[in-house]
A = this chain, B = another copy of it.
């Protein structure tokens, strides 16, 4: 898989459609991968992302301590790994090893990129006001990577209980909206 810079102003185009993402975190010898659907864009540029990372997850501890993570975007070929990551705890299992995923050093954060994903967003925590009540973190994307070969990614969209909608056809209408 190749990887090139994605302009930060285009990050919203990846997250607006609501794909399941894999969030990576790392601290010392400990690292984790978490499947996540509860995220939203908050600002175009610099791109801000809001997301819920439950305090029952190992990732919560790592994110709180390091204030850094990577949002990795898997396509349909990684469905089993996504479900696997969602059903195991990073406190007991190294998910990279267990699910055959390849960690790659990020440019600006300590958490690893997942090489098999078609895009990776390096993030820093910038606001934790809503963490006590909702486990809601505000992240700033500081660097974005994309596989230039992937034009219309077949992303996964969770409908609950292991049911996923896979991204279908694309249509285009005239629009003044971003």
Contacts and interface: CB of A to CB of B under 8 A. Distances in A.
A84 B76 CA distance: 31
Interface stretch (A64-72, A90-98, A104-112, A159-167): A159-167
Contacts of A174: 83, 162
A74 interface: no
Contacts of A35: 177
11 contacts: A17-B37, A17-B157, A17-B158, A18-B19, A40-B40, A83-B173, A157-B167, A162-B175, A162-B177, A164-B170, A168-B169
A43 B52 CA distance: 9
A60 to B, nearest CB: 15
B175 A86 contact: yes
Q: Number of copies of this chain in the oligomer?
A: 2
A170 B175 CA distance: 29
A16 B38 contact: yes
Interface of A: 10, 12-13, 16-19, 35, 37-43, 48, 50-52, 76, 79-80, 83, 86-87, 127, 129-130, 133-134, 136, 138, 152, 154-155, 157-178
A160 B175 CA distance: 9
Nearest to A135: B42
Contacts of A42: 38, 52, 134, 136
A73 B173 CA distance: 19
B136 A50 contact: yes
A171 B160 contact: no
